[in-house]
Amino acid sequence: MEEEPLPDVPPNLPPPGPAEAEPSEMALRLAEALIFASAEPVSARTLGQILPEGEEAEAVLAALARRYAGRGVELVPVAGGMQFRTAPDLAPSLRKVIQQPRRLPRVAMETLAIIAYHQPMTRPEIEALRGTSLSQETLDVLLEAGLIAPQGRKEAPGRPTLWGTTPHFLAAFGLASLSELPRQEDLLASPPAPT
């Protein structure tokens, strides 16, 4: 049986250069433990606070990502940090035995998409883009899921709340930053070709 080649190192994590020393095993173990124990993505800055002196957090994360490349769990960049995620090729098999979290209602997904692409924005601005009113229940669902949060108040009469997405939104959708959102033009269905 022929062995499959291992996938490349995840993007943004270059292999060590010729002058770059491999991080110590203790630094790798600390990073692994911190990322495993953390509910949120771990940034290089956070990791740097616990590493032994002389260890570079970026180099430790890159080495750890190389170590996990091709395994059942991989270290990937998410929401400005790093997080362990199931290898994408294994997800279909796991869905057979692991329950998926409850899906958001369609109106909540529409609202979340509008906020993600146009943030920060007020409730009336969301309603104007949707073309219909927005119930408080929809905002509550997104707030409870930790996908949106208040981002201050708009300098306008009544000082309405500005809404924006959270780091949890990025993590939930597997994004390193908002710049990874698909372009709006790519999401629009193209008209059928004339026959």
Which residue, of 94, 118, 151, is where some domain finishes? 94
User: Considering the domain boundaries, does residue 194 fall inside one?
Assistant: no
pLDDT band at 92 (very low <50, low <70, confident <90, very high): confident
Region 68-83: mean pLDDT is 91
Domain with 167 in it: what CATH number? 1.10.10.10
User: Considering the domain boundaries, does residue 154 fall inside one?
Assistant: yes
pLDDT band at 9 (very low <50, low <70, confident <90, very high): very low
pLDDT band at 4 (very low <50, low <70, confident <90, very high): very low
Domain ranges, residue 165 = 106-185
What pLDDT sits at residue 195?
A: 54
Are 78 and 47 within one domain?
yes
Are 123 and 90 within one domain?
no
Are 112 and 181 within one domain?
yes
Tell me the pLDDT tens digit for each residue of 29-68. 999 999 999 888 999 999 999 999 999 999 999 999 999 9
Are 118 and 85 within one domain?
no
User: Considering the domain boundaries, does residue 192 fall inside one?
Assistant: no
Count of domains in the chain?
2
What pLDDT sits at residue 91?
A: 83
pTM of the model: 0.55
Look at phi and psi of residue 74 and say left if phi exceeds 0, alpha if psi is from -120 to 50, else beta.
beta
Are 116 and 81 within one domain?
no
Are 110 and 179 within one domain?
yes
Which residue, of 46, 63, 94, is where some domain finishes? 94
What pLDDT sits at residue 189?
A: 57
Tell me the pLDDT tens digit for each residue of 107-166. 999 999 999 999 999 999 999 999 899 999 999 999 998 999 999 999 989 899 999 999
